[in-house]
Amino acid sequence: MNIIVCIKQVPETTEVRINPETNTLIREGVKAIINPFDMYAIEESVRLKERFGGKITVISMGPPQADAALKEAISLGVDEGILLCDRAFAGSDTWATSYTLSGAIKLIGDYDLIICGKQASDGDTAQVGPGISAHLNIPQVTYVKKIEEVKDKTMRVERLMEEGFEIIETPLPAVLTVVKEINEPRLPSLKGMMRAKSAKITVWTQKELNLDPQNIGLCGSPTQVVKIFTPPQRSGGQILAGEVPEIAQKLVELLRSEIN
């Protein structure tokens, strides 16, 4: 079973700070890690490989330093890492990102399964996995919490819902996005770390991918970030006291005056 895992390098923090002038993430001084949800995707791919054999390729789109994330994935048992790195890809939204990743996946060609984390801890969109499936025109199952059964051309999985779970059988190849309930990621091994150290990360640019220039990077991104801001904290409020008819009357008056 050949598996492609898509990962993202994110800042190691749950409190993302944003530069109000450029509307971009402040990355300085924050350690970069593999998006925590992607760790579950990597682990699941390694478990599938241990059961069924095959090859795992991990891909990421990002700046040159994102090769550290790919090397870490190799230390965890992934076979090969490919970094999609080109200035032309900069400023991609989820649409352009999933388009670019799907271009790389087409170039890799031979795959049975694509696994992504359910969402990235910085952007929190949960759109890239489904976007890849749309661009490749293959099925997607999101929020997978368990792979129940793997057959030659199909797979049965459990999908986490707000109340309980769904069992879905999907033809392969397919895109799965996984939730943290699916497994407990392992730590790297010394052997893996040594392999990662000497591993060579393949870098693909627009030249290798040859994608439609209109669909990549900032100009290929339909999302226009107009403004990013931290919402002001709610202040005080007012508590009305008295008999119900009386305070109801007062409330209506206050609301009217707010509108005016």
Partner 1 sequence: MDYLLTEEQKMVKDLARKIAEEKIRPVAAKYDQSEEYPWEVINVIAEAGLFGLFIPEEYGGMANSVMNLCLATEELSRACGGIAVCYAASALGTFPIVLFGNEEQKRKYLPDLASGKKVAAFAVTEPEAGSDASAIKTTAKKEGDYYVLNGLKHFITNGGDAETYVVIAMTDKTKGARGASAFILEKGMPGFTFGKKEEKFGIRASSTRELIFTDCKVPKANLIAKEGMGFIATMRTFDMSRPGVAAQALGIAQGALDLAVKYAKERQQFGKSISSFQGIQWMIADMATEIEAARGLVYSTARMVDAGITGVSKESAMAKMYASDVAMKVSVDALQIFGGYGYMRDYPIEKYVRDAKITQIYEGTNQIQRNIIALQVIKEAAK
Closest distance between partner 1 and the C-beta of residue 123, in Å? 26
Residue 87 binds to partner 1 (criterion: CB under 8 A): no
Binding mask 185-204 for partner 1 (x = CB under 8 A): -xxxxxx-xx--x-------
Distance CA 29, CA 158 (A): 39
Closer of 50 and 243 to partner 1 (Cβ): 50
The site for partner 1, by CB under 8 A, has a size of: 9
Tracing tokens 């002001």 back to the chain, one arrives at 232
Closest distance between partner 1 and the C-beta of residue 152, in Å? 30
Residue 65 binds to partner 1 (criterion: CB under 8 A): no
Four-point Cα dihedral 33, 36, 41, 42, nearest 10:
40
Running DSSP on this structure, what letter comes out for residue 23? T
- Structure-token pair, residue 187: 């730590």
- Structure-token pair, residue 94: 């989820």
- Non-local (6+) Cβ contacts of 241 within 8 A are 247
- Of residues 217 through 236, those in contact with partner 1 by CB under 8 A are none
Residue 36 binds to partner 1 (criterion: CB under 8 A): no
- Kindly indicate which of the ranges 101-109, 139-147, 181-189, 250-258 contains the residues binding partner 1, using the contact rule CB under 8 A: 181-189
CA 109 to chain centroid, in Å, comes to 21
Closer of 13 and 189 to partner 1 (Cβ): 189
Residue 18 binds to partner 1 (criterion: CB under 8 A): no
Four-point Cα dihedral 111, 84, 210, 100, nearest 10:
70
HSE toward the beta carbon, residue 253, CA cutoff 13 A = 7
Closer of 19 and 189 to partner 1 (Cβ): 189
- Structure-token pair, residue 79: 């076979």
Closer of 198 and 214 to partner 1 (Cβ): 198
Closer of 77 and 130 to partner 1 (Cβ): 77
- Residues at the interface with partner 1 (CB under 8 A): 186-191, 193-194, 197
